[in-house]
Structure 1
Amino acid sequence: MTPPAHVPSGEAAPVPEVPTVLFVCVKNGGKSQMAAALMRQRHPGGVRVLSAGTRPGAALNAESVAALEEVGASTAGEHPKPVDPALAQEADLVVLLGEEVELETGPTPVQRWVTDEPSRRGVEGADRMRLVRDDIAARVAALGEQLGLRPQA
């Protein structure tokens, strides 16, 4: 088999660089964990996914975890953790989830996702979390397209 024309004979094709995305919310127990789990599920191996909180809570939100499990997205091994400032500056993109989260990222590009908040409409519990999950899932899909990632088949 002949190597592609842009790769000199005998040399390996260049390995594409995997982007790093850091999802941040205040407690790192709900929305940022949801975004990370959904991104890992949609683009396994195509992106390095991290999540953290500016004031991490004690545990993951059980309703968030349950809503993710309904669609096969996993938070296995995850726990709330603080933002590592060096990692935030090394990431290719930081996504802030919510209006209340603030983070200095230096030159790292930042997106802010102000997600749907169904509780403002009186929707609570599992129904609330499903709506939040679905909003975040749509944003993750759009971000994957923006980054040129291919979703898992």
Structure 2
Amino acid sequence: MAAALMRKTASDRIVVHSAGTAPGSSLNALSMQVLEEVGAPTAGEYPKPIDPQLLSEVDLVVTLGGEAHVDAPAGVVVENWDTDEPSDRGIDGIERMRLVRGDIATRVDELATRLLDATR
């Protein structure tokens, strides 16, 4: 979700890759639906593990949730976003995903601003 939202926000100004520490077998249908609602593309995406070679070539890794852990090489910053979990408050389904999307979108906007300001 974060990668799709960053691509929508930053277009080609920030290179975005997506991978998981424990990727599932398919993309979450509700996640894809709420991304489509805001025009955040998921075309060509599929669950995949972190590529060690790519990990050594990036500047920043963002993980989502407290259970995600990445052993990054020296010089690679790992930033964890412990996102809101609406199901803890009894909110499920599409409403849950929209709230998760909103939380991640806010963090993506802040990160995009930070990264783009650093290049000026």
Count of paired positions: 116
| Structure (1/2) with the larger strand percentage | 1
Q: Of the candidates 66, 90, 104, which is equivalent to residue 122 of structure 1?
A: 90
TM-score (norm 1): 0.74
1:103 and 2:103 equivalent? no
5+ residue gaps, structure 2, are: none
Q: Of the candidates 23, 28, 32, which is equivalent to residue 61 of structure 1?
A: 28
Aligned-partner SS, 1:90: coil
Which structure has the bigger radius of gyration? Answer: 1
Q: CA deviation at 1:45?
A: 0.7
Question: What is the percentage of aligned positions where both structures have the same residue?
Answer: 56
Q: Of the candidates 136, 140, 146, which is equivalent to residue 114 of structure 2?
A: 146
> Structure 2: which amino acid aligns with 1:141?
D
CA–CA separation in structure 1 for the residues paired with 2:39 and 2:56: 31
What does the per-residue CA deviation read over 1:24-44, in whole Å, with 9 as the maximum and x for residues that have no partner?
Answer: xxxxxxxxxx10000000111
Partner of 1:94: 61
What does the per-residue CA deviation read over 1:44-77, in whole Å, with 9 as the maximum and x for residues that have no partner?
Answer: 1101100101221110000000010111111011
Runs of 4+ more than 6 Å apart: none
| Structure (1/2) with the larger helix percentage | 2
Partner of 1:79: 46
The structure showing larger relative contact order (alpha-carbon pairs under 8 Å, at least 6 residues apart) is: 2
Q: Of the candidates 102, 105, 113, which is equivalent to residue 137 of structure 1?
A: 105
